[in-house]
Structure 1
Amino acid sequence: MLPLITRDELKSAIEAGTVTVVDTMPADYYEREHLPGAVNIPGFPYEEAARLTDELAPARLPDRSAATVVYCANVPCRNSELVGARLVELGYRDVRKYREGIEDWVAGGLPTETGPA
């Protein structure tokens, strides 16, 4: 299991520019709404999560030592755990998970962005 980060901690890290945020939802969900500055590495369909991470991470996350936070929709969503675990396997050294996901972010009244990956 990945170490966790809270909404307030993530908000502060985004504002400080000290974290790379990874939205693990399918591309069409990402395009509709994602956390500010997030990049997209889909973790669904689940059986494709490792392959998609292998293909997309080198370009979207070139610094394997950078603080990285993965998230998906909500607590039951598995995408972020699959992508985050694969990132660790690929040698990313500082990967955390925002377990509550974008639903919690929006519920907290925090800003989101739209647009393609």
Structure 2
Amino acid sequence: MLPLVTRDELRTEMEAGKVVVVDTMPVAYYLRQHLPGAVNIPGFPYERAARFTDELAPSVLPDRTSPVVVYCANVPCRNSELVGARLVSLGYTHVRKYREGIEDWVAHGLPTQAALG
């Protein structure tokens, strides 16, 4: 189980530029809506999460010592746990999880970004 970060902690760290946020939703969801500045490593389908992480982490997370927070849709969503655990196994040293995910973020009126026009 990954250490957790609260919405307020994450927001503060994002505003200070002290964390890399990883959206673990499928690409189509990421393109539609993600936390500001988040990079994407899909954790679904679950059986491909490790492969996606192995392929994408070196380019989107080049510094294995940077603070990283992974998130997905909500508490039941497993994407962030799978990607986060794989990052730890790849040698990332400071990985935490925003368990409540983007649904909580949006419900509290916080800003998101979209990559689609």
Q: Does TM, scored on the shorter chain, surpass 0.5?
A: yes
Partner of 2:18: 18
Name the counterpart of 1:104.
Answer: 104
SS of the aligned residue for 2:69 comes to strand
Give, in angstroms, the shift of residue 108 of structure 1: 0.7
AA aligned opposite 1:33: Q
Instruction: Tell me the TM-score normalised to structure 2 length.
Output: 0.98
* Aligned residue runs from structure 1 range 57-72, under 5 A: 57-72=57-72
Which residue is 2:9 aligned to?
9
Aligned to 2:48: 48
Q: How far did residue 107 of structure 1 move?
A: 0.5
Amino acid of the residue matched to residue 12 of structure 2?
A: S
The residue aligned with 1:79 is: 79
Q: Deviations over 1:26-65 (max 9, x none)?
A: 0000000000000000000000000000000000000000
State the TM-score, normalizing by the size of structure 1. Answer: 0.98
> Residue type matched to 1:48 in 2?
R
- The structure 1 segments of at least 4 consecutive aligned residues displaced by more than 2 Å after TM superposition are none
Percent identity between matched residues is 77
The answer for unaligned runs of 5 or more in structure 1 is none
RMSD: 0.6
